[in-house]
Amino acid sequence: MFSIKCLIRLCLFSLLFFHHFASAIVNIESKRADPGAQEEGFEGFVNVDISGDNGNTKESDLALSVQLNWAGKNDSDLLMLNYAYGETANVKDTDQSFLHYRHVWLARETVSYEAFTQLETNEFTRLKLRSLLGGGIRLKLDLPNQQHSVYLGVGLFRSREDLDPLISGGAVIEDYATRLNSYLVYRYHLNEHVRLLNMLYYQPDVSEFGDYRLLEQLAIKVALNKSLSLTVSVDVAHDSRPPENVETTDTSYRTGFEYRF
């Protein structure tokens, strides 16, 4: 039967495919809701990171992240939007955006299936637009200690990347690929206020495994009260075959506040 929930999902997929909003892998694990793991209903998060210097050094950075979760008894939905902008000496050096939607079905207590789609842009890696659609299986490993949890994900996605030309006025370069999407997640609840999350992605092209992308992400979240948390994260992203004139490895550090509603 067609329902309001189905209509919401249809609208989200339409938004992702037809709205030109948004090449990096983005961590969705820190606020992800597994089916059956939390109370049913909607939950939202807003992260804001602002930093700057003025005087001999002029630098300003802004990062905004908004996420909506819907959790049901046997399925869940996630919608995430990220935007980052930065300037140094009044010259723009960061401008990237990301939009992601994911649906997860719970097959058994430790086995889930997931489908996802996303859009990305990054002016400083020549990424005009990256769009993809994929799916896979997610396994929760059985551990005796409730403070620790480990997840393993394996799947595939098909992507299209539109790259800005190296020469002004040149044609946009289109690149298509089918990639393996594999990841390993480790969560550790130190106590009721402090949580550590480590995640490793590996995404090779299935037609050429020498063309791969790696992302290592480490985050620490400290709950200040029921709604507000302090978050600190480090991301290291590596692309074995990036576009010409783009570095193979990027490292980013971020400290900010997260508001839960």
Dump pLDDT digits (tens) for 39-60. Answer: 788 889 898 877 776 655 577 8
pLDDT of residue 11: 46
* Closest CA relative to residue 203, chosen from 30, 13, 24: 24
pLDDT of residue 134: 96
pLDDT of residue 254: 78
Distance (Å, rounded) from C-alpha 37 to C-alpha 74? 10
pLDDT per residue as tens digits for the range 153-173: 999 999 999 998 877 778 888
Give yes or no for a contact between 105 and 78, defined as CB atoms under 8 angstroms apart.
no
Distance (Å, rounded) from C-alpha 42 to C-alpha 60? 33
pLDDT of residue 53: 67
pLDDT of residue 169: 74
Residue with tokens 């992601």: 100
pLDDT of residue 22: 33
pLDDT beneath 50, residues of the chain: 1-4, 7-8, 10-24
pLDDT of residue 54: 67
Task: Identify the bridge partners of residue 231 per DSSP, sorted by sequence position.
Answer: 221, 256
